[in-house]
Amino acid sequence: MPEDQIAVALVTEPTQVAALLAAVLAAVFALSRVEAFKKVFEIVPPVLWAYFVPMLLTTFGVTPEANAAYDWFGYVLLPLALFLLMLTIDLRAIASLGRMAIIMLLVGTFGIVIGGPIAFVAVGQFIGDPEAWKGLAALSGSWIGGTANMVAIQESVGLDDLGPIIVVDTVVGYGWMAILLFLSGYQKQFNNWVGADTSAMDRVDETLKQLDQTRRPTTLATAGIIIGLGFGAAVLSRVVGSSMPTIGDPTIISGGTWAVLIAVTVGLILSFTPMRKLEADGASRIGYVALYLLLTGIGAQGNLMAVLDAPLYLLTGVVWLSVHIALLFGAAKLLKAPLFFVATGSMANVGGAASAPIVAGVYHPAMAPVGLLMAVAGYVLGIYAALGCAAMLGALGG
C-alpha cells in the first residue's frame, strides 16, 4: 500500500499497533464474561469480534492496512500456534469420533478445493485483477482450516494485499456461520428428512466423557516451557523454511510454506511422544491465544470499503461456498448424516478451530470438543489441500 495512505492512520508505530490489537482482544474476552453481554456473544461469538473490530479500526482510519506489527504476527504467531496445536492433538481421539465425522469433514474439504476453481471460472476471472487468483488461493487456506492456513497460503503465493479477501472471508464465511447457527433449531426436521442415523452421535458423546479430564492449572514453570518451546519451534521453522527451495511457477510452495509445513509436521510427530502431556498444562490454550492475536492482525488488514471496489470478489465467494454447501447437503442425504455433522464438518473447514467448537456447542452443548477435534484435523488436511487448490487456481489465472 502507498506510504501516503498508511500515514493517514491514527496509530502507525508497530509496537503501538500491536498493543492496540492485544487490547482489543482483551476487551472482547473481558466483555464476553460480563453477564449483561453473554447473550450478545452467544449470537455473535468472540472470534467474530476479534476479527471484525480491528477491521472497523482500519476502515475508520485508526490503524493502517499494512504495518510491521502484522508482519511480525504472521512471522512468529502463525507457526507458534500451529506447532502447539499439532503438539497437543490426539489423533486416536479424532479417529474415535466415527466414520461419519471424518467423511463429512473430507466432503467439506473437497467442496472447498473444487469450489475455488469453479467459482474462478464462473465469476473470478472477470474481477479484472491479474493477481485475483492469489487472493482466492489465500481464501482457500482460510476456508480449509482457518486463518492460520490463509496466512500460510498468502505467503506461499506471494500475495501482498489481503484487503478484499478478508472482507469476503468475513461477510461470506461468517454469514454462512450465522445461517448454520440459525439452522440448529431445525435439527429434528433435517434429521427426519435424511433419515439420519444418530448412533454415531451416541458414541461420540461417550468419547467426550473421557476428554478434558486431565487439565490442571498452568504454573509459571509449565508456561515458561510451553512459550519457550513454541517460540523456539516457530523461529526455527522459519529459519529452516527460508533455506528450502521454492516450488511451482507461479510459486505454490515458498519459504513461508515450508516453515508452516515444518511446524505442523514436527508438532504432529511430537504428539506421539510424552511431550503431548503439555496439553494438560494448557499448551493448546496458549496456542489459541496466539491464533486469536494473529486473527486481530489479519482483521486489521481488511477495509470494509474494499467491497465497494471489488463486488465480484463477494460474488465469487458466494458461488464458491455454494459448491461446498451443495456437496455437504448431498452427502448428508446420501449417507443419512445428522445436521450436526454437516454443520461441524463445514465449520471445521470454513471457520477452523476458532469457530467449529462454537457451532458444535450450539447444536449440542456437550459436543464442542468434537468441533475442536474436527477443526484440528482440518488444520492437518488444510495446508496440503489448500496448496492443491492454489495450484489449480494458479493454473487458471497465473
- Tens digit of pLDDT for each residue in 320-358? 999 999 999 999 999 999 999 999 999 988 877 667 877
**Angstrom distance (rounded) from CA 220 to CA 369:** 26
Of 200 and 291, more confident? 291
Give the SS3 label for residue 351. Answer: coil
pLDDT at position 365: 65
**Angstrom distance (rounded) from CA 142 to CA 153:** 9
Burial class for 353, CB neighbours closer than 10 Å (0-12, 13-18, 19+): buried
Asked if 85 and 204 count as a contact pair (C-beta separation under 8 A), the reply is no
- The conformation of residue 173, written as its DSSP 8-state character, comes to I
Tell me: pLDDT of 114 over 90: yes
Query: Phi and psi of 210, rounded to 5°?
Result: -90, -10
Long-range contacts of 124-131, Cβ-Cβ distance < 8 Å, separation of 24 or more: 124/312, 124/316, 124/397, 125/396, 125/397, 126/312, 127/310, 127/312, 127/313, 127/316, 128/312, 129/310, 130/397, 131/159
- Tens digit of pLDDT for each residue in 252-304? 567 877 888 888 889 888 988 999 888 888 888 898 888 889 888 888 887 77
pLDDT at position 248: 63
Q: Which residue reads 478434558 in cell numbers?
A: 212
Percent helix, strand, coil in the chain, to 5, is 80, 0, 20
Domain ranges for the chain? 3-397
| pLDDT confidence tier of residue 205, bands split at 50, 70 and 90 | low
20: number of Cβ within 10 Å: 20
What average pLDDT does this structure show over 234-255?
81
**Number of residues that make up the chain:** 398
- For the question of whether the overall pTM of this predicted structure is more than 0.75, the answer is no
Tell me: pLDDT of 4 over 50: no
Cell numbers standing for residue 199: 448412533
Tell me: pLDDT of 6 over 50: no
